[in-house]
Amino acid sequence: MAFQAKFSARKALCVAAITLAGLTISLNAKAGTTIDVLVGNKNNFGFADCTDTGTCPDLVNPSIDNRTPAEMAATNGAQFTDVYSALFPGEGPNTTFSGDVIFSFAGTLTDGTISIATGDFQSDAFGPFSASIDGTSVPFSFADGRFVTAIHTFTLTASELAVANSQGFVDLNLNRNGSTDFVAFDWFELNGDTGTAATPEPSSLALLGCALAGLGLLSMRSKRFVSTLA
C-alpha cells in the first residue's frame, strides 16, 4: 500500500511536469510580434487645420498635392496620400485610376486590420470605388459627407491572411471604378500580430524529457512490483 501511494504521488508529479512543459512549449510557439506598417504619414492630409476624424475644409480644390518628396517617389501606395483628388487623372496629380497599397511584413501574420484615413468621401452621391484585399473583393463605399474625414477599418479574413503569408505582404487594391467622387487619403496602416513556429526552448524540452523518462521508470517499477506479488 505504501508503495502504491508513493507511486501514485510520483506519477502525479510527473504528469504535472509533463503538462507544465507542454504548456510552456505551447506558449513559446504562440509567441509573436505586434506589427504596425504605415504607408504615408499621419500629417492630417498635409494641412495644419485638419484632422483624421472630423473635418478638413481645405479639401476644396481637386488638384491639391501636399505630398513629401518621398511620398511622390513611393511605389507602395504612399504616392496616393496627401493629394486631392486621389486616383483621378485630370483632377489630381496621380495619372492612374487604380493602384495598390502594399504592406510588407516579416513572419507569419496571424491576424490583422487595415485602417485608412479618408477625406471627403461621398459615395452615395458620386459612386463607390471598388477594392480588394489580396484578391478578395471588399466594399469601399463611404457616405461620410463633404469635407468630413474618417478612419475606416477592415479586418483580414483567413483567406486574405493565407494569401498575405504566401507572398509576404498585404495588397490593398483600389480602383475608382467610374466614380466621380473627389477623395483624399491621409495614410494607410496595417496592424496585426505575427506568430512564429518557434523552436521550443532547450529548458522546456529538457523538462518534458525528464518528466517522460520519470513516468516511464515509475511504470517499469510498478510492473516489477506487481510481478513480485503474483
Average pLDDT over residues 28-39: 79
pLDDT at site 13? 45
pTM: 0.74
Whether 164 and 92 have beta carbons less than 8 Å apart is answered as no
Which phi and psi (to 5°) does residue 59 adopt?
-80, 70
More confident residue, 146 or 208: 146
Q: What's the sign of the alpha-carbon dihedral 129, 135, 139, 142?
A: negative
- Assigned fold of 33-195: Jelly Rolls (2.60.120)
- What percentage of the chain exceeds 70 in pLDDT? 71
Confidence of residue 195 (pLDDT cuts 50, 70, 90): confident
Domain boundaries, the chain: 2-29+198-229, 33-195
Q: Burial, 48: exposed, middle or buried (Cβ in 10 Å; 0-12, 13-18, 19+)?
A: exposed
- What percentage of the chain exceeds 90 in pLDDT? 70
